[in-house]
Structure 1
Amino acid sequence: MWSRAHAGYAYLDATCKPLEIKIDGYCIDSITAKLIVTQGFERYLWNTGDTTSTIIVQNPKPGNPYSVSVTSSTGCSITLKDTIPEFEELAAPKFNKMNDTLVCPVTKLWVHPTGIHLNDIYWVEGGYSADSFLIHAKDSITLHFVSPDNFGCNRDILVFNLFVPSDAIMVSPDQVICPGDSVTLSIGVPDALTNLNWTPGNLKSKSIKVSPNVSTQYHVIVNTGKNCDVEKLVNVTVKLAPPVQLNMNLDTTICEGQSININVQGEGIGTIFWPGLNRIGPSLTIQPKVSKSYPIEIVNLSECDTFLYNYNALVHKIPYVNFGSDFCGSQDQLLTVPNFESWNYTWNNFTTDTFLEVRKSGLYTIVISNECGGI
């Protein structure tokens, strides 16, 4: 950063005035120099080719020579010369660091930014400049102060925080757990604040592990040492729900080829899973070819407990029989039919076995029946 003015003087009788160089720009790489000769001469001719009494040089370099030939109305002529001077560097402003400060709510305090080479100190949030600032800390606030150098080229910014304890102290959000589960509650406080107490439990650490049987509100009180203790609350809700109770028959008998529409009904039912079928929901249609058991997983309304059931489908086959071709011969024959526990058998000789010993020629018939029909 650089000084603003330098003058070179050369005289031509009482009418001629000196050449003056003014550094009007302020910042490095954007400095401008204004070279001035008193107005009123008849003619001007600069070594840059300009013909006015004043010229502007962009980004002038120290040591560069400039000259102007001036001619008065009386015919007096002279050449004035000078060079761009060395620029004097300006010291940059620098704030001293200010530590974040914990204050009680609605505190009024004076803030005095200090440092070196400070000029105009501007408080950004307050919108004014001063040496000291009265801050009214209703809530936590981040403060910004700015000080430029004399030319406005360099500036320094001071940033620090005023923490109101209720804002500076953070606690775990409310929690929801299942019966028997535990959860860790924690509080974040500045390092200087270590005097705290949790209730219920009378615990002193920043983190506590709790496992309440019922929904509980936990209080933590932090002593700030500034006569404004802070209390924070955390609610731990224990999800209680009645167990699942089904109001339906879990055993069904059908005939081969029939289908079953299952609709799970009961109390305390949340989500229903059919793990063997990759299905979710209370309704299901099945058509088993053989007797089969279908597992059901039911999550209760609290989503904490899972109840396992099996839906049993008993499939009765439609009766059938195959004696093969008629046969001849003198030997005894044994007629047999499939043996199923649920089938009823009646031969034309009124026996009810699954077999009949034939000792003579004749027509033999059997009636087989069950819940699904007969032949």
Structure 2
Amino acid sequence: MTLAQSFPPVAPPLWQPLRRLHHRTVERRTAAAAKDLRAVVGKPLDVALLRRALACQADGGNVFRLVATGFLAMMAVGYLIAGMKGLCTPGGLLPTSGGELGPCPTHQDKVNVAEVVGFCAAVFIVTATVRNALRATAVRPAQKPVFPALAVLRACARLTEPGAGHAEAAELSVKAQALGQALIDAAGRVASDYGSRASTRKSLLDHARQVAALLERTADELLPDRERATRKLAELAGAIAEQTADGRFTDLLGAMGQPPDLPTSAPESPDRADGRRLAVAAVTALLLTISVAVTTGMLGLPAFVTAPLAAITVPLLTFLLLGYRFGLIEALRLVQVLRTVRGENAVEPTATTARPEAGQADGGAPPS
């Protein structure tokens, strides 16, 4: 029995092409997953429940990308034009790197630069939006582990086909590990949806880690017993997809029961996951800033302009990348974690003293 009636969503109208692309992608992937599960273990898959959970959810990501890209484009054009204007001599000439004098950019040149930047930003936004619609990524963050589960089902079906061998088994092992990591990442999103309480976050993370450990343990059995491990992974992936779509985040295996108490690997700890996210975002922001500095340096922008530019853009780009990848709430949490590590606003744990029961404060016997 599910938490809600599993009616499949109605196809969006023609004047919503992105939602129609999302809807068709979900229909195609769920139908293929049901066929794969039936071919591997002979069990049905609740396709209607999956399609209802994977309905298109407009979360404002396109607006965020538009604002972020437009802001960066305006900042780059502003620095470029300001630098060129500051280098112009009173006679209307611009010194070049070779020491010669050239004409300063006219108003039309500045307009042309702004148009090129705006066109490139628009192409990037449109391409990213259509790509996300084709991949059906606009779903609730808590429901995103359904797609890795469907990918595991597809890999299991490929491994059962005639002629499958080591390459297909290795692909299945990698996808099973990716499913476990997706469950751990989604546990934090679910805890945020339910109020970000420490007890809720701990229970969800503990359960997700145990399920991920079970997936990894089963994937390790692909080497000695490929057929049995493939069927087991298909059953686990099907149960995880249905339970995640149904919102049962503390019972991801459903009728298969709770996962055994298996040891979890160290890289799945929250501090290492947060550190990896911060490191990737910071390095990406640094590389983007270096590329902008090199480009502006080749155009003749002086160093006293590029230095403040780097000091401003690296933290800003880091936060924008975190917000684009994990959402604003998670980006703010990661920034707060970084400030806590640096010693700012650190929360000291308060020791709780146990209150003695009546009759035990003076060594006497407790009341009967």
Q: TM-score range by the shorter chain?
A: under 0.3
Of Structure 1 and Structure 2, the greater strand share is in 1
Structure whose residues are more often helix by fraction:
2
Q: Which has the higher contact order (CA 8 A, sep 6+)?
A: 2
Q: Which has the larger radius of gyration?
A: 1
